[in-house]
Amino acid sequence: MPGGLRQRVGIAVALAGDPEIVFLDEPTTGLDPKSRRDTWKLIEELKKKGKTIFLTTHYMEEAEALADRVAIIVRGRIVALDTPEGLIRKFGGNYKLKVRVGERIEKDVLEKVRKLCLKPGTNVVEGQLAELLEVLTYLAKFTEHFDVELVKPTLEEAFLKLIGARISEEGELEENSSAV
């Protein structure tokens, strides 16, 4: 039986008898993106009906989208328990402003942008929203020369910080010696 079909059958079995409490273990593993989103909609509908859902997942995007509360478990021990927003606020790090510089730009403007970029060798300015507002105010004068993207911290970043790892700007996992 294909993995996606097996997942859908598992969800159907979990819902048989209309239980008040539903346990779903990795319900979207092996599903294509459409089936995954359909499963998310089903879980949201169950929540609206007042069902209590215990969901285990390795997909932080899924936990962030679906969960009212998230428990992060490391080596069988709960190391954090809060709303997704609470975990992001506590452990997710700063907002990031990704700045892409156009080819036609004056040298002094480019130098100022490089000084603003707190992470050497990258095009990322990281900080609190107030700090990033200052950078955006400066860059607003040169909008035709820049493309900017504000990136909110994620539950995945909070999770990686809690377990002692982080994601590089290139999206690679970087180990950290301060593992929980």
Residue 133 within any structural domain of the chain: yes
Verify that 59 and 108 share a domain, yes or no.
no
Give burial (CB, 10 Å; 0-12/13-18/19+) of 165.
Answer: middle
Both 73 and 15 in one domain: the answer is yes
How many structural domains is the chain composed of? 2
Domain holding 106, by residue range, is 94-151
Cα 145 to Cα 157: distance, rounded to the nearest angstrom:
30
Task: Please report whether residue 173 resides in a domain.
Answer: no
- Does the pTM surpass 0.75? The reply is no
Give the pLDDT score at 71. 95
Contact criterion met (CB below 8 Å) for 153 and 146: no
pLDDT in tens, 34-55: 989 999 999 999 999 999 999 9
Residue with tokens 């730009």: 105
How far apart are the C-alpha atoms of 129 and 42, rounded to whole Å? 35
Q: Is 159 within the bounds of a domain?
A: no
Lowest mean pLDDT among 68-72, 76-80, 128-132, 151-155: 128-132
Tell me if 179 is assigned to some domain: no
For 96, residues 6+ apart whose C-beta sits below 8 A from its C-beta are 124, 125, 126, 150, 151, 153
Q: Taking the mean position of all CA atoms in its chain, how far away is CA 72?
A: 14
Q: Cα–Cα distance between 8 and 123 in angstroms, integer?
A: 43
What's 139's domain CATH number?
3.30.1390
Assess whether 79 and 101 both reside in one domain. no
